[in-house]
Each structure stands twice: as structure tokens, then as C-alpha cells.
Structure 1
Amino acid sequence: MSAQSKDWILHSVIFSLKHEKGSEAERRFLEDGQRILTSIPTVTNFQVYKQVSAKNEYNYGFSMEFASQADYDAYNEHPLHVQFVNERWLTEVEKFLEIDYTK
């Protein structure tokens, strides 16, 4: 885990895709998400998860850490994030839940 300041944020989103599980489109979305979002300088400790609990209806998760609110804001406003959301997220994600944690 990265060093954490009092301003540290863990940003996580759980989601389901419109794509069939195990499909090439699923693989491409998860890989592209990781490649694109980790290229944004303020993103640290990016993880991709496949959700296995029977207690919710989502299938995947992305999580990442930010050292501060300013770093998180920079990520949200970064052109690569905006483009990924507009071109991929809005068209390929069926439903999602976003959770941001601090300590």
C-alpha cells in the first residue's frame, strides 16, 4: 500500500458491463481501462477486480488511490479520464456504484 497522508483517498467503482462475461469486449474494456487510467499521473495503486460475492449484482471493480483531494480532482478533470468516461464508460457500462474512502 502506498504511503498515506490525512488527505489520502481510495476511489473505487464496482460495475457491470453490457458485454458478455468472458468475451473479447469484456477483456478489452478491462485492459483499456487499466492502461488508460494508470497513464494519468495522479493515479496510484490501480487495481482491476472480478467481483465474486453472491451478495451484490455487480461483476467488476476498479480501485485506485490518490494522495490528496487535489490529485483526485486532477484525475477527474484529466482529458484521458474524460475521454474514457465519454467514449467507453457511458456506452459499455450497464450499471455502477462509486465509493470513495478516506481514513
Structure 2
Amino acid sequence: MSGQAIKHMVIFNLKHEVGTREAKLFLQESQAILAAIPQVQQFEVFRQVSGKNDYDFGFSMVFADSADYSAYNIHPVHVDYVKNRWEKEVTRFLEIDLQLESEL
């Protein structure tokens, strides 16, 4: 990865049923925790509406470059979040990391 911005997305399912208080709380608290990490830009939370896959939710965020993305991955708040929230409440997920294709 180069000095280009990276759009990091993850789609996922929770152990909580969609629409429950627990699911809403997970989404709200995740946004508050992850968006507060300095390298994170444009944090968004999504609800899946397509019938083309069976994931329920999505997070999207932007990093200025690969250095910021790497710093995010090892940031103590992120590491703690993954260990104490994500691994306990997410049942399955798919990560997608994209950079703008500049040679189209």
C-alpha cells in the first residue's frame, strides 16, 4: 500500500438479533470507540439491505495512508476493542480494504 487513502470496510453479523437493544448498543458503542481513534476518518455504520448476501451490518472508515492504517491496527484502543467486544459479539465478518484506482 502506498501514500494513497485507504477505505477500510467490514461487513458482519452479531450474536445479537437485528433490532435488539444489544445490537443497537454494540453499534453505538463501536462507533464511539473506533471513531475516537486519531487515525480514523469518516467512520460510518450501515445496515445491510441487499438480499445478495447474508451479512447484517457494516462499518466503513477512511485512513489517510497505509501508515495511518497500520497505526490503527496496533492502537491500544483498537486492540482492546477487538479482544473485549468484537471477538465476543461478532459471529462472522468479511474485511475489505480499497484504494482508489488512479489509472482508469
Q: Identify whether the pair has TM-score above 0.5, normalized to the shorter chain.
A: yes
Unaligned stretches of 5+ residues in structure 1:
none
CA distance in 2, matches of 1:22, 1:64: 23
- The answer to whether the aligner puts 1:49 opposite 2:49 as a matched pair is no
Secondary structure of the corresponding residue to residue 32 of structure 2 = helix
1:18 alignment counterpart = 15
CA distance in 2, matches of 1:9, 1:27: 27
Deviation at 1:6, TM superposition (A): 5.1
| Superposed counterparts of 1:3-14, under 5 Å | 7-14=4-11
Unaligned stretches of 5+ residues in structure 2:
none
Percent of paired sites with the same residue: 54
2:75 alignment counterpart = 78
- The answer to whether the aligner puts 1:93 opposite 2:86 as a matched pair is no
Deviation at 1:81, TM superposition (A): 0.5
The one-letter code of the counterpart of 1:59 is D
TM-score, with structure 1 as normaliser:
0.93
2:63 alignment counterpart = 66
Deviations 1:40-91 (A, max 9, x none): 0010000000000000010000000000000001110101100110001001
TM-score, with structure 2 as normaliser:
0.92
